[in-house]
Chain A
Amino acid sequence: MSVKTFTPAAFHHQSAQALSNPQLRHNFRGAMDGLMAKRLGSFDSWDIEALRDLGQGIRQKALRYLPDLLEQLEANCQRNGITVHWAESADDAGRVITELCKARGAQSVIKGKSMVSEEVELNARLAEAGIEALESDLGEYIVQMAEETPSHIIMPAIHKNTADISTLMHQRTGTRETNDAEELTHAARAQLRDRFQTADVGISGVNFAVAETGTLCLVENEGNGRLTTTVPPVHIAITGIEKVVAEFKDVPPLYALLTRSAIGQNVTTYFNMISGPRRGQEVDGPEEVHLVLVDNGRSRMYQDEEYAETLQCIRCGACMNHCPVYTRVGGHTYGTTYPGPIGKILMPHLLGLNTTKNLPTASSLCGACGEVCPVRIPIPKLLVRLRNEAVGEGKGNIEGAGSARRPMEAMGWKLFSWLARHPRCWRVGVRVVQACRSAVPKRVAPWTDNRVRPTPAATSLKQQLAQRRRS
C-alpha cells in the first residue's frame, strides 16, 4: 500500500474524490449520526448551557493569564520532578524529543494518542534518527499500519469499516481475517503487549496541564495511555502551550464537557493524573518524566484576541461530528492534522493562508459547530473573518492574507458596492442587465457545473411593486 498524501491546497479535488466514494460517505454518516445522538443524551441531567459557560470561562481565564500560568506550570512541574522543555516550532519539538530519546540510547518508542505529535510529524522525525515509534491507541495503530493519518481527532480510523481493518491486519500482522471487532481488538492487544515492555520511551499527549499542582491529565478508555506512561523508564508528554488550566478545580468541569461532547460518554474508563516520576520507595512508574510545551504558531495567534479564541479548544471533536461538510467529505479531505471546523480556523494560522485558503470556504455557515462547542468558540464568526483575510479584506496579520484575492472579483464587488450606493446609476444598470438577459452564456463555470444557468428576471422586484401600486 502506498502512502496517501492529502494536502489542504488540493481540497477541491480531494472533496470531489471523497464525495464519489459511497463507502466512505456511509462510514462517516453512520458514525456521526450515532455520535450526535449520544452526545445529546449524555447531557440529560445537566444544565448544559451553564456548564458550557463555565467551560468557556475556565479556558478564557487560562488564556488571559497564559504566560503567567505557563511559568507557574513549569515551576510546579519542576518541583514535582518533571523536566519542562519549550519548542517554538515543529522542528524544535522533533529535535528536543529525538535528543531525549538518544540520551537514553532509545531505539523504540511506544506512543499514546497525541494530536500534537501528529502536528509536528514526530514519528517521521524519530524515524530519521533511527528510532522506531509505534502507536498503541487502537485507532492510531490501525492508521499507522495503513500508512495513513488520522481522519478524526478522537477516532483516528473512523473512515475504515471492520472489513477494511480485518484485511489490513491480516496483510500486515497475519491476524486471522474476521468481521468480529472483538477478535480484532484482542489480536491487537496481544500484538502490542510485548512492545510496552520492551519500549525504551513512552510518549503521550496531555488533555489538561494544571498549573496549580504541576499535574498532567490524560483521558482514555483503552489503558494504552496508562501503559505508555507507566511501564517504560522514560515518559515524554508533548502538548501545545494552550492546554494549561489555572487550578485543579477547573479539571472536573472540562472533563465532564470533554467526554460528553466527544463521544457522548459520561466518563472515560481512565482519567490518569501524572504529577511526576516515581517517588521515594515506589517500584514502578517512569524514572524520568518530561513535558514538551509546543508553540508552533500559537503565540502568534494569541496576538489577536479574536483569533486567540481558537486556543480555547479542548479537542473534543464535537464540531466535526456535527458538521454537514465534514460528515460528507471525511477528515482526510482537509489535508491537515486537525480536520473539520476547528481545523478550518486553526490550520490557516499554523500553515498560512497560501495553502489553506480553501478551508474557511468549506462551510455552509450553518452554525452547528458553534452551537455544540463545549467552550463556545465562535467558529462561524472566525470562518467569516478568515474568508475576509484570504481575499485581503481583513487586518492582514495572518500569513498569506490576500492570497485568495482575484483582481476581477474584487473589482466586480467594488463596482457593485458603488452602484448600490448610487440609485440612479443602479437603475440604469438594471435596465442594461435586463436588456442583455438572453446573452448569459449557457455554461458559466463553475456555477453551471452543478446548477442551472442564472438568468436575470425580466422585471425587477422593485419594478413589479411599482406596477402593482399603479394598477
Chain B
Amino acid sequence: MSARDRILSRLRERAAPAPTQFTELDYSVMHRPLDAAVRKTRFLESLRAARAEVIETTEATWTDALAKVLDSREITALGLGEIHPWAQAARRDLKDGRRRLVSFASVKGREAFERLEAGLTSSCGAIAETGSVCLWPDADEPRSLSLIPPVHIVVVDERHIYSSFFELQSAQSWHKGLPSNALLISGPSKTADIEQTLVFGAHGPKALVVLLITRSD
C-alpha cells in the first residue's frame, strides 16, 4: 500500500458522520455590489492607499501618459508584449528612439533581471474594494514581466472594474479553469518584517503604475 492509500484509508476510517446532509453554505455576505462610479473611486482610493501611482487617462491619449511616466522615471528599457492590443499601441506610439522596447521572450534569465527597467502589461480585470489588478500572464506577457523589472506599469480598463474578488471570479467563471498562473496585484511589493515598519520595495517591483482608461459613456 502506498503512502497515498494509507493516508486516504485512514481518513475514510473515521466513523461516518451523522446522516444529516451538509446544508448549503450561505455566501450572501460576499455579495457587496458597488455602483459603477463608486467602483472607480474606491479602486483609485485603495490603490493609492497602497502607494501605487494611478493615472486616469483615455484610450486615445494613454500612450502619451505612458511616455510621461517613462520620462519622469527615466526609464530607457521597457519590457512589453507584441500581440496584446495595449502592447501594440505602445509600440506604435513610442517609436521615437528615446527608449528601447524589449520583448520579454528575447531577454532570458539573468538579462531580464539586469536590463529591464520597467514592464508593461495588460490586465484581465480589476477589483474596486481592495484596489487589485488581475493578471493572467501568457506567452506574450509572461509572469516575469510584472515581477522582475523594478517598475510594473499596467493598463486597466474602467469597464473591467468589479466590486469584489468574489464578483470577479464568478463573472469570469474561474471555476471552469485557470491559466497556469493568475495573479491579483494590489500595489508595489512591501514588507513589515522588521519591527512592523512598513517598507515598500521588497523583492517584487518597487513601484506599481496603473494607467486607468476612463470611458465617457
Please give the residue numbers on chain A whose beta carbons come within 8 Å of chain B beta carbons, in ascending order. Answer: 27, 30-31, 34, 46-47, 50-51, 53-54, 57-58, 61, 64, 66-67, 70-71, 74, 80-81, 86-88, 92, 136-139, 142, 155-158, 160-162, 165, 181-182, 184-186, 189, 192-193, 196-197, 212-213, 215, 221-224, 226-227, 230-231, 241, 247-249, 251-253, 255-256, 263, 266-285, 293, 295, 299-300, 302-303, 305, 308
Contacts and interface: CB of A to CB of B under 8 A. Distances in A.
Contacts of A30: 196
10 contacts: A64-B22, A70-B8, A223-B147, A271-B186, A273-B181, A274-B181, A280-B139, A281-B139, A302-B10, A303-B10
B172 to A, nearest CB: 11
A185 B201 CA distance: 8
Contact of A197 (B6, B13, B110): B110
In this complex, the member of B11, B137, B164, B180 whose beta carbon has the largest number of chain A beta carbons within 10 angstroms is B180
Nearest to B194: A181
B193 A248 contact: no
Contact of A253 (B30, B184, B191): B30
Name the 4 nearest CB pairs between A and B, nearest first: A223-B204, A222-B202, A139-B193, A267-B130
A153 to B, nearest CB: 13
Contacts of A160: 195
A451 to B, nearest CB: 35
Contacts of A230: 143-144, 147, 181
Given A247-B175, A256-B165, 11 more contacts: A50-B26, A54-B25, A54-B30, A88-B3, A162-B197, A222-B202, A227-B204, A269-B189, A276-B180, A300-B10, A308-B14
Contacts of B195: 27, 31, 160-162, 165, 181
Contacts of A155: 192-193, 196
In this complex, the member of A86, A156, A263 whose beta carbon has the largest number of chain B beta carbons within 10 angstroms is A86
Nearest to B178: A275
A197 B183 contact: no
Interface string B1-34: 0111011101111100100001001111110000
B108 to A, nearest CB: 8
A279 B205 contact: no
B170 interface: yes
A284 B179 CA distance: 13
A255 B165 contact: yes
B24 to A, nearest CB: 9
B131 interface: yes
In this complex, the member of B131, B138, B191 whose beta carbon has the largest number of chain A beta carbons within 10 angstroms is B191
B7 A249 contact: no
Given A222-B202, A223-B204, A269-B187, A283 B29 contact: no
B7 A213 contact: no
A61 B25 contact: yes
Given A70-B8, A224-B202, A275-B178, A269 B164 contact: no
A269 B186 contact: yes
A248 B27 CA distance: 13
A67 B8 contact: yes
